Structure 1
Amino acid sequence: MNIATSGMNAAQTQLRVVSDNVSNVNTPGYIRKIADQQSWASQGAGAGVEIARIRLATDRFLQAASLNAGADAGRQTVRAELYNHIQSQFGDPGADTGFFAQIDKIFSAFSTSAENATSGPLRQDAIWKTQAMFDEAARVAKEIQSTREEADGRLRTAVDRVNGLVEQIEKLNVDIAKANVVGTDSTGAETAQAALVNELSELLDVRITTRSIGGIEVRTGAGILLAGQGASKLEYQRAGAVSPETVFNEIMITEPNGQRRPLTDGLASGEIKGLLELRDVDAPAAADRLAELMTRLADELNRAHNASSAVPPPQVLNGRNVGQSLETALTGFTGTTTITTVNDQGVIQSLAEIVFSGGTMTINGVAATPATFLATLNGQLGGATASFVDGRLSIEAPAGQGVAIADDAANPSSKAGRGFSHYFGLNDLVTTGRPALYDTGLTLGSQHGFTPGETLKFRFTDASGSRIRDISVAVPAGGTMSDLLATLNDPVSGVGNHGSFSLNGAGELIFTGHGAPPSTMSVVEDATRQVPSGVSMSELFGLSGARASRAGGFSVRADIVKDPTKLALAQLNLGVAPGTAALSKNDGSGGRLLAKADQNATAFSAAGGAGSVSMSLSRYASEFSGEIGGKATIAKNRSTNATALYQEAAARRSSVEGVNMDEELVLMTTYQQAFNASARLIQAASEMYDTLIGMMR
């Protein structure tokens, strides 16, 4: 009777389990239950059967594979989604209306203007197309930063979701442990917990271990505890409005034992990882490449414009802020340039031929030094006035005259690859409100102009984005670039343990991080100001995000936009006889220089993961276009592959953990028969008892 009763109870439990499975066959995330049945012995003799436990049909290997695949799918999907938004801002590379097609239109417009140098509408068309190009670049740069801002906002949301999931998982751990103590069925809580873990795995990579008391312990792939010994707490303060210079906060986690550290330590996958990569790597790289392209486009247009002149030439030429003192800026020039004043008929009224030779110079044969340059030049220009204020060189002609500059054809002036007028930006076509060219021409012996004691704070992060250290460096007492580099690279008070700064041949300050992969440097505070220009060290040398921010700051010179006749399409002819016009309105040679500017061999600095290279603007734009499209395609393919792998892993896991109706029906039949057999055994025992009792009567 006892054996039959235990068999009937066991069969009832099995049938209840089968019933639950069948009822939830279409429930998403439901894991099939299994009732483990075992024999029951009393004093060494068989006494029936019992249900040892009811468990979920989980496979830890398939579970791990599914969680890993889910994390990778979350990472790649969000990267593809947001990078596709960046790529879409550039338009179809092959379309006539795309971003890169507008660059070609600029040079085509200048070519047309050069053929008819007196046409106002053609000049205006070239100016408008140039301005439209830089306006479009500013728009794209803003969209890239908006994408970074969106990624930062989604990080805040993801952190909140992680906190909510971890809290629920830990609460279910308590429920499961209680159920195990009292011997009740905990599979409902375990199923709900498994669904939460699946959702959590899409946000960050997790590892699961089973606790002996019931429930699970959840850690990140790097071993940071999330749940199992209490719930961890994530903290993140989003940056708000994002710019290229933004230094983002870290995602911090406080473990149940009170230890607080960055979550990104060892973070390998998940949506959070994808958002961090897009925000801190992919989007800044695109912004950096765009800024470098726009900077060199502006510089090559300015190179041609500074070698040319409007007819009549402007009365005043105002240069750009070179971020140096005049003495430092003049040091290092070679070759010959000539500054002239010209009347409205194009006839030269006065000229000053400047010959640079090493550390010396002459102006119309009169010896000068960088310190006496302005006084000597003003004495030779016959009424014109040159001045240098706040890092800008300006030259003003007498009333009724204009200023025109030309380099010697055989021995042109040069410093850092730019002629005299180009280096000082005296006749720039495209202007910007901040330094955009970081090949300054400075040498180790140059005076940097920063005040001793001013500080610059650097932040170093590892490949995962976790902060390594913040280091404040003060400007040293010595005033040369050599002194500054020695202080910056000091391993004790400087950044020497994390990387090194160096000055290349063009005067560009370059940081090289140590390690494999190297640490990343950013500037979080900059209290330096260069005298007399007023620019910071970050702005002068393009440290950290200053480089990527350049794309949105370019515009065609305001006076040229208002008056197209000030567009420099002619060139000053120094070989004409005295009293003969050196400038002609019909001369389009300067326009032809502008039209060919995209074919010049241009030195591009390292940007966005691409190394420094010398090539034409058109080729760089073409390669950048291909890179943007290629990265978007790669991101999409990775997302597609990761999603397919996740679906396959989930399908295989479901084939083991999910409900199979055929199997459940077989089990139902089996346990119904077992129940009937136990019932018949009870009936037989009852009849036997009745017979025995009847015999005794």
Structure 2
Amino acid sequence: MSGSLTLALRTAQSGLLVNQSALDAVAQNVANVNSPDYSRKIVNMEQRVVAGTGAGVQLSQVTRAVDEGLLKSLRLELSAFNQHDAQSSYFSRLQDLFGAPGDNTSIAHIMTEFGKSMEALTLAPDQSLEQGEFVRQAKEVANKLTQMSSTVQELRVQADTEIAAVTSTINTLASELSDINNKIIQNSSTSADVTDLRDKRDAKLDELAGYIDISYFYRGDGDVVVFTRAGRTLVDNSSPTISHLPASTAASTTTHAEGDFNGIYIGIETAANDITDEVRDGKLKGLIDLRDGTLADLQSQLDEFAAELRDAVNLIHNQGSGFPGSATMSGTRAFINTGTAKTVPIAGEQTITMGNNSDTRITLFDSTGNQHTTTTVQAIMASASYGSGASAANGPWNIAEVAATMQDWLRQNGTANATVAVSSTTGKLNINLNSTTYNIALRDEVNTAGTVPAPVGSTAANATIQFDANGDGTADETVSGFSNFFGLNDLFVDDVVDNIWETGVMSTSYASTAATLTIYNGTTSTNVTVNNGDSLTTIAASINAATAAGVTATIIPDGSGQRLRISSQNGNAFTVTQAAANTFISDTSLHSADVRVSEQIRVREDIISSPSLVTRGAIQWDANKGASGEYFLSKGDNTLIKSMSQMFATTNTFDAAGGLSSTSMTFVSRSTSILTNNATLAELNDSQRTYQEDLSNSLKTKSDTFRGVNLDEEMSNLILFEQGYNAAARVISVIQAMFDSLERVIR
């Protein structure tokens, strides 16, 4: 009998202890009813059996009310939400800084005002007020473009800095998860309750999912292994460190593809461990997309726009001059091998040839705009009296011979101290009359009779300049206008060096035709073979294999396509040409890159100082002046400023850039498109952010409802466990009384 009473006592004791644990769990649940990330604890009981005989009750385990499948879905959506959320503040800043098309500070409004200033100058070309306003508006356009470019690069640097901060946070979370893993394993081995540790780990996983896309699984010992969806390990027994060194500055040429932005490395900093292009979601993805996608695309749009504006305006501005001509002319085209002045160029010297019966008239004018003397480029180049002697009538001429010949003619015709030379530092052609008596102006002409040089009074039309960029005897580029070719009277200038070449935006599936490319640096030519069907990536590899060229080729993402970019390794200028009959350059629009133009575009300094230097009119011919007709300049001539105004108001062909397609539209419309595209992206991001936020909140509500504490349910459990505890205590009390009775009988 005593043995049965002892067993009963132990059985009742087990009920007492288990119900006590259950009451503790209820107390924990009630106490944490408002605690975030807390999951309701469930006490699971089971019958205790000893030697095949029931021996009361025991605590099986304390579990959590958690839906793991729902949590996985929630974490996926949290990653997507944070990707868009990370971009919201950047889009807001772009909207604030760039403005809407109708805002007075927007590029679209400023371009409109620039057009109005052209129209006003057309009506009053001789008025200094209108001249000054035109220059002021041109400066506003250039300043706005440089400001926008600067803002884009500042935001890219900030995004890169945030990327570094995110990687640091990921490392911290990974370390904390590893520490929690160890505690769970240690406590589980002693059958201790680890549910609170699991709650804490879930909270860290939720936080980590906000920064980077994650996948995970649980091992049998209770720890969790976390890795990216691309398969890179983040948390394991030995977790690798994520590192990223942020950039201190950025420019339009700064890209991750070229290695200018450091990679995001997991473990050792090698190319194989760079996960920049592998990240799929989370705040990290949002920042990468901003730095390398959205903002880089916007920069591409600005550069292409600035280059088109520069080229279109300068083409017309170079067709004439301010009144009464210019005392100095500074070219903007830099040559890499001007040669030594001589009548017959040798291999390697860059040369020009005049085609299509075109010629360029050089005229000196007095202060009233009347002709002092005139000639043509072909006439003096073919004369034995100037330069090194008589050259071929229409070329080819090396650049040094052109300069020497023009200088001799100017010195022999009224400007004895004139200098015409190519700068040894910049490679640009400069003309300085060093005279207060006369001024120079250029006019392109075409002789319809087909004779050269063009006789006086020939039809005004842009000269055709064929440029042999690598001195191999074959023309590589055709440019409209002699002054425009040299950039002798540009309105918009920049300091962009021809040390970066790139294609237009190409499809990722592009396949090349066969070609032989020549990369020439002024002294050395390096040939690169392009095979039929080569992709841009294959072509880049072929260029990089030609180490003697001293260039690096990279594939640069741009909008929905890509560009092949070729950059000089030492920063010096070079040219890229192709064999005769090859079409690779035209097929891909390979050209000296527009990148950097919006950063550097500005109005020429002497025009800012003297707005009267703005081209309004062209050199005119009057057959009734003098003995047999003369050229003259008129202060009230509006011929060219009117042409510029008409050009500005009509459509211009813009190349694809930064997600904007190739199209024909006005400059104002294109500037509006840039703003509209940016606003559309901002609205799309905000819409996606809102959608992901609603979806995440919905999933979180479902998860919280499932895992959260229900006070009514806990009160019911409290009564149930209390009654169980009281009943067990009552059994113990009865057994104690029975033991007391047994003790009295024995006495």
Q: TM-score, normalised by structure 2?
A: 0.77
Query: Which residue number corresponds to residue 463 of structure 1?
Result: none
1:61–1:11: structure 2 CA closer, same or farther, 3 Å change rule? Answer: same
How far does residue 423 in structure 1 lie from its aligned partner after superposition?
Answer: 2.2
| Structure 1 SS opposite 2:54 | strand
Equivalenced residues, count:
644
How far does residue 329 in structure 1 lie from its aligned partner after superposition?
Answer: 5.5
Query: Which residue number corresponds to residue 122 of structure 1?
Result: 130
Which of residues 18, 26, 31 is equivalent to 1:18? 26
How far does residue 522 in structure 1 lie from its aligned partner after superposition?
Answer: 6.4
1:274–1:259: structure 2 CA closer, same or farther, 3 Å change rule? Answer: closer
1:169–1:130: structure 2 CA closer, same or farther, 3 Å change rule? Answer: same
CA contact (8 A) 1:235 1:252 kept: yes
Which structure 2 residues correspond to residues 326-405 of structure 1 after superposition, within 5 A? Answer: 328=350, 330-331=352-353, 334=356, 335-353=358-376, 366-371=393-398, 373-374=402-403, 383=413, 386-389=420-423, 390-397=426-433, 399=435, 400-405=437-442
Across the aligned residues of Structure 1 and Structure 2, the Cα RMSD in angstroms comes to 3.9
How far does residue 510 in structure 1 lie from its aligned partner after superposition?
Answer: 11
1:633 aligns to 2:683 (yes or no): yes
**What amino acid sits opposite 1:270 in the alignment?**
G
**What amino acid sits opposite 2:482 in the alignment?**
F
1:424 aligns to 2:446 (yes or no): no
**What amino acid sits opposite 1:232 in the alignment?**
P
CA contact (8 A) 2:501 2:566 kept: no
Greater mean deviation of Cα atoms: 387-396 or 61-70: 387-396
How far does residue 690 in structure 1 lie from its aligned partner after superposition?
Answer: 5.8
How far does residue 112 in structure 1 lie from its aligned partner after superposition?
Answer: 0.6
How far does residue 259 in structure 1 lie from its aligned partner after superposition?
Answer: 12
1:633–1:564: structure 2 CA closer, same or farther, 3 Å change rule? Answer: same
Query: Which residue number corresponds to residue 54 of structure 2?
Result: 46
Q: Cα deviations across residues 434-487 of structure 1 (Å, max 9, x unaligned)?
A: 24899999xx899864156xxxxxxxxxxxxxxxxxxxxxxxx5x3xxx54438
Aligned counterparts of 1:521 and 1:417: Cα–Cα separation in 2: 24
CA contact (8 A) 1:107 1:594 kept: no
Greater mean deviation of Cα atoms: 642-651 or 158-167: 642-651
CA contact (8 A) 1:18 1:668 kept: yes
How far does residue 20 in structure 1 lie from its aligned partner after superposition?
Answer: 0.6
Query: Which residue number corresponds to residue 465 of structure 1?
Result: none
Which of residues 86, 94, 102 is equivalent to 1:78? 86
How far does residue 283 in structure 1 lie from its aligned partner after superposition?
Answer: 0.9
Which structure 2 residues correspond to residues 104-503 of structure 1 after superposition, within 5 A? Answer: 104-246=112-254, 247-254=260-267, 261-264=273-276, 266-325=278-337, 328=350, 330-331=352-353, 334=356, 335-353=358-376, 366-371=393-398, 373-374=402-403, 383=413, 386-389=420-423, 390-397=426-433, 399=435, 400-408=437-445, 411-414=461-464, 416=478, 418-435=480-497, 449-450=520-521, 479=525, 484-486=527-529, 496=539
Which of residues 597, 600, 603 is equivalent to 1:550? 597
**What amino acid sits opposite 1:563 in the alignment?**
S
How far does residue 595 in structure 1 lie from its aligned partner after superposition?
Answer: 2.2
Which of residues 704, 709, 716 is equivalent to 1:659? 709
Greater mean deviation of Cα atoms: 187-196 or 159-168: 187-196
Aligned counterparts of 1:39 and 1:226: Cα–Cα separation in 2: 42
Aligned counterparts of 1:71 and 1:545: Cα–Cα separation in 2: 41
Aligned counterparts of 1:146 and 1:488: Cα–Cα separation in 2: 41
Which structure 2 residues correspond to residues 501-650 of structure 1 after superposition, within 5 A? Answer: 526-527=569-570, 529-530=572-573, 547-579=594-626, 582-650=632-700
How far does residue 289 in structure 1 lie from its aligned partner after superposition?
Answer: 0.7
How far does residue 320 in structure 1 lie from its aligned partner after superposition?
Answer: 0.6
**What amino acid sits opposite 1:561 in the alignment?**
I
CA contact (8 A) 1:71 1:204 kept: yes
| Structure 1 SS opposite 2:23 | helix
Aligned counterparts of 2:396 and 2:331: Cα–Cα separation in 1: 20
CA contact (8 A) 2:240 2:266 kept: yes
How far does residue 35 in structure 1 lie from its aligned partner after superposition?
Answer: 2.0
| Structure 2 SS opposite 1:330 | strand
| Structure 1 SS opposite 2:539 | coil
Which of residues 719, 722, 745 is equivalent to 1:672? 722
Which of residues 65, 68, 87 is equivalent to 1:60? 68
1:511–1:231: structure 2 CA closer, same or farther, 3 Å change rule? Answer: closer
**What amino acid sits opposite 1:388 in the alignment?**
V
Aligned counterparts of 1:517 and 1:95: Cα–Cα separation in 2: 29
1:242–1:25: structure 2 CA closer, same or farther, 3 Å change rule? Answer: same
1:517–1:14: structure 2 CA closer, same or farther, 3 Å change rule? Answer: farther
How far does residue 691 in structure 1 lie from its aligned partner after superposition?
Answer: 6.4
**What amino acid sits opposite 1:104 in the alignment?**
T
| Structure 2 SS opposite 1:307 | coil
1:338–1:528: structure 2 CA closer, same or farther, 3 Å change rule? Answer: same
Aligned counterparts of 2:661 and 2:555: Cα–Cα separation in 1: 12
**What amino acid sits opposite 1:393 in the alignment?**
L
**What amino acid sits opposite 2:430 in the alignment?**
S
Greater mean deviation of Cα atoms: 17-26 or 94-103: 94-103
Q: Cα deviations across residues 189-216 of structure 1 (Å, max 9, x unaligned)?
A: 2222221111111111112211211221
Aligned counterparts of 1:523 and 1:33: Cα–Cα separation in 2: 63
Aligned counterparts of 1:439 and 1:578: Cα–Cα separation in 2: 49
| Structure 1 SS opposite 2:211 | coil
| Structure 2 SS opposite 1:188 | helix
**What amino acid sits opposite 2:480 in the alignment?**
R
Greater mean deviation of Cα atoms: 149-158 or 547-556: 547-556
Aligned counterparts of 2:181 and 2:695: Cα–Cα separation in 1: 30
CA contact (8 A) 2:498 2:574 kept: no
**What amino acid sits opposite 2:214 in the alignment?**
V
1:632–1:226: structure 2 CA closer, same or farther, 3 Å change rule? Answer: same
Query: Which residue number corresponds to residue 36 of structure 2?
Result: 28
| Structure 2 SS opposite 1:241 | coil
Aligned counterparts of 1:26 and 1:431: Cα–Cα separation in 2: 65
**What amino acid sits opposite 1:6 in the alignment?**
S
Greater mean deviation of Cα atoms: 560-569 or 379-388: 379-388
Aligned counterparts of 2:675 and 2:542: Cα–Cα separation in 1: 32
Which structure has the larger Rg? 2
CA contact (8 A) 1:73 1:646 kept: yes
| Structure 1 SS opposite 2:397 | coil
CA contact (8 A) 1:386 1:393 kept: yes
How far does residue 145 in structure 1 lie from its aligned partner after superposition?
Answer: 0.8
Aligned counterparts of 1:497 and 1:412: Cα–Cα separation in 2: 37
Greater mean deviation of Cα atoms: 107-116 or 385-394: 385-394
- Unmatched runs of 5 consecutive residues or more in structure 2: 1-7, 255-259, 339-348, 380-389, 446-458, 466-477, 504-514, 545-551, 576-587
Aligned counterparts of 2:438 and 2:516: Cα–Cα separation in 1: 39
1:420–1:259: structure 2 CA closer, same or farther, 3 Å change rule? Answer: closer
Aligned counterparts of 1:648 and 1:696: Cα–Cα separation in 2: 71
Aligned counterparts of 1:321 and 1:128: Cα–Cα separation in 2: 25
Q: Cα deviations across residues 291-350 of structure 1 (Å, max 9, x unaligned)?
A: 211222222221221123211111222211244545646247544433322222222333
| Structure 2 SS opposite 1:574 | strand
Aligned counterparts of 1:158 and 1:83: Cα–Cα separation in 2: 19
How far does residue 52 in structure 1 lie from its aligned partner after superposition?
Answer: 1.5
**What amino acid sits opposite 1:250 in the alignment?**
G
CA contact (8 A) 1:152 1:238 kept: yes
